[in-house]
Amino acid sequence: MKRKLIAAVGVAAMMAGVAACGSGDSGAEGDKSLTIWAMDGSAPEPWVKELNKAFEAEHEGAKVEIKVQQWNGIQEKITTALSEDAPPDVLELGNTQTAGYAVTGGLADLTDLKGELGYDKWNKGMVPSTELDGKLYSAPWYAANRVVVYDKKAFKDAGVQPPKTRDEWLDGLRKIKDKTDSQPIYLPGQSWYVFAGLLWDEGGDLAAEDGDKWKGTLASPEAQKAMDFYKELQSFSTAPKDADEATPQQSTDVVPKGKVASWIGLGWEAGGAIDAMKKAGSEADFGYFPIPGKTADKPGKVFFGGSNLAVSERSPDKELAQEWLKMATSEKWMKKYAEATEGGLLPNSPGAQVDPAAGSFAEAMVKSSEVGALTPITPGWANVETEPNPIKEYMTKVLKGTSPAQAGKDADKVIDERINKS
């Protein structure tokens, strides 16, 4: 995931002081030193220290060093590192990026280790991003997904309860519009991860395999249905139609100014909004609920953003690196991880999930995780997300009056060209 994921509301910056950012120098072959690249904000310091102490105790002479990396520019940095003779031994990779690194040959093939890694126990929504062409190249580490954050007072004033279906959701937004002076929902026109969930609910996808190539599928009837619903939701919002949730940043630049009854975001955004409102002299009173589905029996699908852990093919001590990976992603240590993040990040297996606090962001997120999904698993997908993102442009065109069919055809041409690039 290309964004800092401190998903537990109120969780502090968790990696501060673990280690400074640095290059991937591993020790000489045989000296049992491991270098782990972890992204800023991904691993709590107490968890890291306890894990590495236990690992070093089990492997005499082993020394583990965590080197914290920043998301900005990380793709280029990892690409370079994987081509060198002494890359970091284990790397954290965004789950939408993993396939792109696997196809280069820079990641170790872990297929024979499925049983030892607990493959069959992993969250089914996380598994696809770890594999390419039937082979396993990483283990899922954590994930997070969006939920609806709402102002309890605005909902109470309008007599609205958290909805369970799309129809109830729209009905509640109408009541908030009629009975309060709050904006029913803040929803920018280019929140494409939200749109993706609606599209998956309709049985569609952003792209599909076509023989030995991929093709965009935004001109499909499913995409039109999803965009029609998104357009209806967006009609209750004053957010710009040609920007995403970060322009302006909804959690710190929009919500703290007040009069926003609800919005869709990640845990770190909810925490950011709470902090910003406190600094501005007000107090947030948020509730949380999963994005509603078409029926009440299950919530709407959501994008499962997160990270995987992989071993470098050129690691100076690949076997030791694999042992660290097994321990770090085991159910025992993933449960400790979930506890350390206060349930705010989803561990790689249901068995490691801790019970989140009632009424918390984490509680709503866990409910949604049952239907988490991922963008197309292909090395070329990273090219699609490059700005200008054709999915964003498609959404803006539709919101400004272009027919979904025509806007979809325009977007699919760009997707077809980008997704099939090596």
Tell me which residue has tokens 């024979």.
Answer: 112
pLDDT value of residue 93: 96
As a whole number of angstroms, the distance between CA 34 and CA 32 comes to 7
Residue 23 has pLDDT above 50, yes or no: no
Q: Work out the average pLDDT over 131-138.
A: 96
For the chain, helix (H) and strand (E) counts, in that order, are 15, 15
| pLDDT per residue as tens digits for the range 179-218 | 999 999 999 999 999 999 999 999 999 999 999 999 999 9
Question: Using 50, 70 and 90 to split pLDDT, how confident is the model at 400?
Answer: very high
As a whole number of angstroms, the distance between CA 310 and CA 318 comes to 11
At 158 the three-state DSSP class reads helix
**Burial tier of 25 (Cβ tally within 10 Å: 0-12, 13-18, 19+):** middle
Predicted TM-score of the model (pTM): 0.85
pLDDT value of residue 14: 33
Ordered structural domains, the chain, with CATH = 33-144+304-362 (3.40.190.10), 147-302+375-419 (3.40.190.10)
Tell me which residue has tokens 């997704």.
Answer: 419
Helix (H) or strand (E) holding 330: none
57: its two tokens: 């105790």
Q: Which amino acid does the sequence have at 91?
A: L
Tell me which residue has tokens 């690992």.
Answer: 55
pLDDT value of residue 68: 94
Distances (CA, A) of 209 to 99, 100, 378: 15, 16, 9
Tell me which residue has tokens 């984490």.
Answer: 362
Q: Which amino acid does the sequence have at 89?
A: D
Sheet architecture: strand order including 33-39 = 63-69, 33-39, 90-94, 305-311, 139-144, 346-347
Q: Which amino acid does the sequence have at 231?
A: K
Distances (CA, A) of 58 to 55, 117, 258, 319, 330: 5, 17, 53, 14, 15
Q: Note whether 68 and 12 are within 8 A (CB).
A: no
At 12 the three-state DSSP class reads coil
As a whole number of angstroms, the distance between CA 206 and CA 46 comes to 39
As a whole number of angstroms, the distance between CA 385 and CA 165 comes to 30
Q: Work out the average pLDDT over 399-422.
A: 96
Distances (CA, A) of 20 to 36, 238, 414: 12, 42, 40
At 142 the three-state DSSP class reads strand
**Phi, psi dihedral angles at 383 (to 5 degrees):** -65, -30
68: its two tokens: 């914290």
Q: Work out the average pLDDT over 20-24.
A: 37
Instruction: Give 278-319 as a DSSP string.
Output: HHTT----EEEEPPPBSSTTSPPPEE-EEEEEEEBTT-TTHH
As a whole number of angstroms, the distance between CA 90 and CA 14 comes to 19
| Percent with pLDDT over 70 in the chain | 92
- The separation between CA 28 and the C-alpha centre of its own chain, rounded to angstroms, equals 35
Helix (H) or strand (E) holding 103: none
Q: What is the DSSP letter of 260?
A: B
Residue 134 has pLDDT above 70, yes or no: yes
Q: Note whether 391 and 384 are within 8 A (CB).
A: yes
| pLDDT per residue as tens digits for the range 266-311 | 998 999 999 999 999 999 999 999 999 999 999 999 999 999 999 9
294 dihedral zone (left: phi>0; alpha: psi -120 to 50; beta):
alpha
Question: Using 50, 70 and 90 to split pLDDT, how confident is the model at 382?
Answer: confident
**Sign of the dihedral defined by the CA atoms of residues 395, 397, 400, 401, in that order:** negative
Q: What is the DSSP letter of 261?
A: -
Distances (CA, A) of 306 to 17, 31, 64, 200, 333: 23, 32, 23, 18, 17
C-beta neighbour count of 144 within 10 angstroms: 30
Q: Note whether 93 and 78 are within 8 A (CB).
A: yes
Q: Note whether 137 and 310 are within 8 A (CB).
A: yes
Q: Note whether 291 and 148 are within 8 A (CB).
A: yes
